[in-house]
């Protein structure tokens, strides 16, 4: 049987591995010179904007909300189809998450639904670039400007993506990116927050590490309650190696996405993602299974793929149907598009080291399973 094909696999080159060993030997393994170098390299990548390296994309979202002054009594509008962190960080700052349904074609938040969800308490919009496909930035910022709202871009999945030729993170308000192990650029665990103004940096740095301000004489002060969100030099060195290759990684992902579109049997009834190669970084290739036509559910489909040594993920179950959010009053039927997609979505293998033969193998397995189980 062929080797197991996971849905993600990070690509770490030998130069980066050797660089990590050098950091370990240096004796300075927490935040230090490598973090500073990584922030400088990221800033250059994002057109000179200030960048704060953090220990997760989740931390980047929380710091961003705090920079915006979001807190108790405020509402933040976000998408129900995302990783739970997207809504959890709103709760973490004491605010209330308000969900707006997704657009069935893009699977991103529907900006018309956002406008309908606005209240006098709305303080910010937190859109998600699902699978690396950017939300319409022109409509997003026009809406935010019209209603005088802050925007915290959950670009956790869209490192290297663009909107009409402009790199995500190089413009706009605040942009949070994840460097988790399954992301296009990984530091193992990590993330960054891209600031719109250098004047935001002093407060952002305090929020990153317990609110501490250090003085030349060795004393310190704390005037704001910060978190423990700093990135290590070990992680930053991985990031520096990855950043050199991000354009290559994303170009390869685009090629593999095209291979999927070329090889996929359209007669199976699966819904494929939008065929957008100019803007997306193709963080994930996700299909919607034709469950109404099948004798099996998604769980058994995933199991049958595993039996063929192919990994499949689920990204994501709708957030509002988790117990925490049901207890806040959300119910099934509130966001029908997100719920339909959440029931049927399946993430297929996609990472730079894959080949077209790997894609053909995945597509052949899907065809076999669906043909075997069609009612």
C-alpha span between 370 and 121 (Å, rounded)? 47
Question: Structurally, how many domains does the chain consist of?
Answer: 2
End of a domain among 191, 215, 243? 243
Residues 108 and 194 in one domain: yes
| DSSP designation for 292 | G
Give the span between the Cα atoms of 274 and 108, in whole angstroms: 11
* Same domain (yes/no): 203, 298: no
Question: Are residue 24 and residue 148 in the same domain, yes or no?
Answer: yes
Q: Are residues 188 and 265 in the same domain?
A: no
Per-10-residue mean pLDDT for the chain, 375 residues long?
A: 92 98 96 98 98 98 98 98 98 98 97 98 98 98 98 98 97 98 98 98 98 96 97 98 98 97 98 89 98 98 98 98 98 98 98 98 98 96
Based on the residue annotation, tell me whether 183 is a catalytic residue of this protein. Answer: yes
Is 216 in the same domain as 270? Answer: no
Report the distance separating Cα 121 and Cα 73, nearest Å: 7
Of 206, 227, 243, which residue constitutes the final position of a domain? 243
Asked if the structure places residue 8 within a domain, the reply is: no
Whether 82 and 158 have beta carbons less than 8 Å apart is answered as no
Claim to verify: residue 122 and residue 227 sit in the same structural domain: yes
Specify whether the CB–CB gap between 78 and 109 falls below 8 A. yes
Which member of 36, 146, 183, 244 is catalytic? 183
Whether residues 201 and 260 share a domain: the answer is no
Q: How far is CA 20 from the centre of its chain?
A: 25
249: tokens are: 């990684």
Same domain, 266 and 190: no
2 within domain boundaries:
no
Same domain? For 206 and 118 the reply is: yes
CATH code, 369: 3.90.1150.10
| 94 lies in the same domain as 216 | yes
> Rounded CA gap, 165 and 232, in Å?
32
- Taking the C-alpha atoms of residue 298 and residue 249, their distance in angstroms, rounded to an integer, is 29
The answer to whether 193 touches 184, Cβ cutoff 8 Å, is no
Whether 3 is in a domain gets the answer no
Q: Where are the alpha helices (DSSP H) in the chain?
A: 14-26, 33-45, 57-67, 85-92, 111-117, 137-147, 201-208, 233-243, 246-263, 298-307, 323-326, 336-344, 356-373
The last residue of a domain, from among 243, 278, 298: 243
Round the CA-based radius of gyration of the chain to a whole number and report it.
21
Let me know: does 232 contact 29? Beta carbons within 8 Å: yes
pLDDT of 276: 76
pLDDT in tens, 226-248: 999 999 999 999 999 999 999 99
CATH code of the domain in which 43 resides: 3.40.640.10
**Displacement of CA 281 from its chain's centroid (Å):** 11
Choose among 348, 42, 355: nearest CA to 179.
Answer: 42
Whether residue 6 lies inside any domain: the answer is no
For 41-82, how does the pLDDT look when each residue is reduced to its tens digit (9 = 90+)?
A: 999 999 999 999 999 999 999 999 999 999 999 999 999 999
Residue given tokens 């660089």 in the structure block: 19
Nearest-angstrom CA–CA distance, 266 and 53: 42
Q: Can you give the residue range of the structural domain that contains 305?
A: 247-373
Residue 257 and residue 230 share a domain: no
Q: What is the pLDDT of residue 1?
A: 72
Question: Is residue 120 domain-shared with residue 164, that is, in the same domain?
Answer: yes
Q: In degrees, to the nearest 5, what angle opens at C-alpha 137 toward C-alphas 236 and 54?
A: 20
């Amino acid at each position: 049987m062929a080797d197991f094909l996971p849905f993600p696999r990070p690509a770490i080159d030998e130069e980066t591995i050797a660089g990590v060993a050098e950091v370990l030997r240096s004796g300075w393994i927490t935040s230090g010179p490598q973090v500073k170098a990584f922030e400088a390299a990221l800033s250059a990548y994002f057109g000179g904007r200030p960048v704060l390296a953090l220990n997760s994309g989740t931390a980047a979202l929380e710091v961003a909300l705090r920079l915006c002054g979001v807190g108790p009594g405020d509402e933040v509008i976000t998408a129900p189809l995302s990783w739970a962190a997207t809504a959890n960080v709103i709760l973490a700052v004491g605010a209330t998450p308000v969900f707006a349904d997704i657009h069935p074609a893009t699977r991103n938040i529907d900006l018309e639904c956002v406008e309908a969800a606005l209240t006098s308490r709305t303080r910010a919009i937190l859109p998600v670039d699902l699978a690396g496909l950017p939300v319409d930035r022109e409509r997003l910022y026009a809406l935010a400007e019209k209603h005088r709202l802050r925007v915290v871009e959950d670009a956790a999945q869209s490192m290297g993506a663009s909107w009409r030729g402009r790199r995500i993170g190089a413009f706009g308000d605040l942009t949070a990116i994840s460097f988790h192990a399954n992301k296009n650029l990984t530091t193992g665990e990590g993330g960054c927050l891209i600031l719109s103004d250098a004047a935001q940096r002093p407060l952002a740095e305090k929020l990153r590490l317990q609110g501490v301000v250090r003085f030349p004489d060795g004393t310190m002060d704390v005037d704001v309650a910060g978190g423990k969100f700093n990135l290590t030099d070990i992680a930053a060195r991985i990031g520096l190696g990855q950043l050199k290759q991000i354009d290559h990684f994303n170009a390869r992902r685009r090629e593999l996405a095209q291979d999927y579109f070329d090889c996929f049997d359209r007669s199976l009834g699966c819904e494929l993602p939008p065929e957008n190669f100019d803007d997306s970084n193709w963080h994930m290739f996700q299909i919607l299974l034709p469950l109404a036509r099948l004798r099996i559910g998604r769980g058994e489909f995933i199991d049958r793929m595993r039996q063929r040594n192919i990994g499949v993920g689920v990204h994501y179950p709708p957030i509002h149907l988790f117990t925490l959010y049901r207890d806040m009053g959300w119910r099934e039927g509130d966001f029908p598009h997100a719920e339909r997609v959440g029931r049927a979505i399946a993430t297929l293998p996609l990472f730079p080291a894959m080949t077209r033969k790997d894609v053909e193998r995945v597509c052949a397995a899907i065809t076999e399973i669906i043909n075997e189980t069609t009612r």
